[in-house]
């Protein structure tokens, strides 16, 4: 750091706070306080019997494995992690959460045989206005830890749909039907890909994207992961 004294003063004037509970962070803490970090409502990947994402996708998609890092309800204080990454331009938090998830995926053997990570794409207009795709940040974090490459140009989103937030399950499925296209199938052909989303609620967006990939991408296998599963 070039100006350690100035930086220290800025920290005193504008202390960094926990993205979950808003308490001021201690010197050794980053993004989240120790308490919130240890209380993350985590889904342990190796605990196959209690995997709510697999249960959600069963019968709807031929997948190899599926898991989320954590599960929460809309009112949970942990929803703020996703909100901060998506709407507050906190790109470093996205990468850091991806690294945390990546370490768990690696430890559990989940990444075995996976050749590439494919983040669910945003429409190019939305990505330009936000400046980034939050799922790509998570993918970068997972890639740092696992050394598995991110491929974020193979699949594109052809329609800029309305937000899914206020829609019921059927409306959500309708809203995202046929909105993805495989633009460069040669990048994912014959690969086992990990389709990665930031939050899965009903699974409609992720399923629509997976269907397009299975129809047009010539992949050998597909697995699915999301940082959060919202309930």
Give the x/- contact pattern for Zn ion in 161-200, rule: CB under 5 A. Answer: ----------------------------------------
CA distance 90 to 19: 10
Contact call for residue 21 and Zn ion (CB under 5 A)? yes
CB nearer Zn ion, residue 20 or residue 137: 20
Q: Which stretch binds Zn ion (CB under 5 A): 27-35, 47-55, 172-180, 205-213?
A: 27-35
CB nearer Zn ion, residue 37 or residue 230: 37
Q: Whole-number minimum distance, CB 70 to Zn ion, in Å?
A: 15
- Cβ(144)–Cβ(102) under 8 Å? yes
Contact call for residue 18 and Zn ion (CB under 5 A)? yes
Q: Which stretch binds Zn ion (CB under 5 A): 28-36, 79-87, 121-129, 177-185?
A: 28-36
User: What is the 3 state secondary structure string of the chain?
Assistant: CCCHHHHHHHHHHCCCECCCCCCECCCCCECECHHHHHCCCECCCCCHHHCHHHHHHCCCCCCCCEEEEEEECCCCCCHHHHHHHHHCCCHHHHHHHHHHHHHHHHHHCCCCCCCEEEECCCEHHHHHHHCCCHHHHHHHHHHHHHCCCECCCCEEECCCCCCCCCCCHHHHHHHCCCCEEECCHHHCCCCEEEEEEEEECCCHHHHHHHHHHHHHCCCCEEEEEEEEEEC
CB nearer Zn ion, residue 19 or residue 57: 19
CB nearer Zn ion, residue 20 or residue 228: 20
CB nearer Zn ion, residue 21 or residue 64: 21
Q: What pairs with residue 230 in β-bridges?
A: 72
Q: Which stretch binds Zn ion (CB under 5 A): 20-28, 43-51, 55-63, 179-187?
A: 20-28
- Considering only residues 32 through 91, tell me which ones interact with Zn ion, judged by CB under 5 A: 33, 36
Q: Whole-number minimum distance, CB 22 to Zn ion, in Å?
A: 7
Contact call for residue 25 and Zn ion (CB under 5 A)? no
Q: Whole-number minimum distance, CB 18 to Zn ion, in Å?
A: 3
Q: Which residue has the tokens 């509970």?
A: 21
Residues of this chain that bind Zn ion (CB under 5 A): 18, 20-21, 33, 36
């Amino acid at each position: 750091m070039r100006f350690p004294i100035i930086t220290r003063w800025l920290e005193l004037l504008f202390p960094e706070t926990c993205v979950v509970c808003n308490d001021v962070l201690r010197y050794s803490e980053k993004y989240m306080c120790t308490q919130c970090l240890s209380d993350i409502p985590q889904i342990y990947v190796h605990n196959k019997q209690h995997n709510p994402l697999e249960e959600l996708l069963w019968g709807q998609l031929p997948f190899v494995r599926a898991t989320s890092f954590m599960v929460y309800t809309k009112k949970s204080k942990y929803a703020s992690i996703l909100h901060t990454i998506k709407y507050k331009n906190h790109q470093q938090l996205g990468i850091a959460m991806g690294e945390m998830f990546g370490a768990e995926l690696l430890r559990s053997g989940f990444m075995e045989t996976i050749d590439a990570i494919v983040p669910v794409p945003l429409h190019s207009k939305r990505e330009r206005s936000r400046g980034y795709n939050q799922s790509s940040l998570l993918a970068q974090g997972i890639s740092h830890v696992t050394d598995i490459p991110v491929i974020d140009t193979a699949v594109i989103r052809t329609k800029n749909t309305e937000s899914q937030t206020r829609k019921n399950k059927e409306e959500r499925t309708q809203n995202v039907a046929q909105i993805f296209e495989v633009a460069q199938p040669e990048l994912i052909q014959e690969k086992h890909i990990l389709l990665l989303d930031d939050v899965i609620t009903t699974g409609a967006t992720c399923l629509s994207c997976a269907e397009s990939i299975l129809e047009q991408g010539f992949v050998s296998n597909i697995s699915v992961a999301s940082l959060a599963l919202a309930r």
